[in-house]
Amino acid sequence: MPYFINLFGESLRYWICDLPQETYDFMRKYKEENNKSWEDLFFDFDFLNTFGFNHWSELTEYPEFRGFFIIKNNRIEVKGKIKKALKLNATELLNQNTLFPLYQVSMIESTLPLNASKRFILLNYEIGQFAKYSFESDSFDINKLEFQVSQFPFSNSFFLLFNIKYKDVELKILREDTLINKMQVIEIS
């Protein structure tokens, strides 16, 4: 029987961008002379085009990273054909004040690739359906469901759900439907 897992709420999509020193110097000078923010530059396609880039994701050698915020208003649902098998608030993954944990949560250490160039983190804050997963099983067993969580690598103030496994098999995203509600650039070099 098919089962579906839906994640609804706020999420984050981000890219790690490394700029060559020459490009960084030009952008910083342009930013200061024109009283612009990093967001004005990185998210302006016409400006990026002057460097031969059509999109900010072309500035990175790494794949995009995605995470579902572990916050109060985010929810996770597991459904069978028509019946909900499980509905929980995302914060329940971390706040398990029971003798035995209700959910299997693996804390994954997030690491950043090392590089000597100027580094920026380009963030898209999104809202909506972060992901829809599917798996086949004769019956749903909560003990076979594993949530992989990590602290956001650029701030210790929040956690993100990065991945879900069922019976030790990583589930693939079938669908996502989010809207960007904020864009941000963090300079970390």
Q: Which of the listed ranges 21-35, 80-94, 95-109 does the model predict with the highest average pLDDT?
A: 21-35
* pLDDT tens figures, 68-88: 999 999 999 999 877 888 899
CB atoms within 10 A of CB 118: 18
- Show me where the domains of the chain are located: 2-187
Longest dimension (CA), the chain: 64
Residue 128's Cβ-count burial label (10 Å; 0-12, 13-18, 19+) is: middle
Mean of the pLDDT values across residues 38-42? Answer: 93
Each residue's pLDDT tens digit, 128-154: 999 999 999 888 898 999 999 998 777
pTM (2 d.p.): 0.87
At residue 117, the pLDDT reads 61
Helix boundaries (H) for 43-139: 45-49
Please check the confidence at residue 174 and state whether its pLDDT lies above 90: yes
Mean per-residue pLDDT, 36-40: 94
* Amino acid found at 72: K
- Predicted local confidence at residue 97, as pLDDT: 74
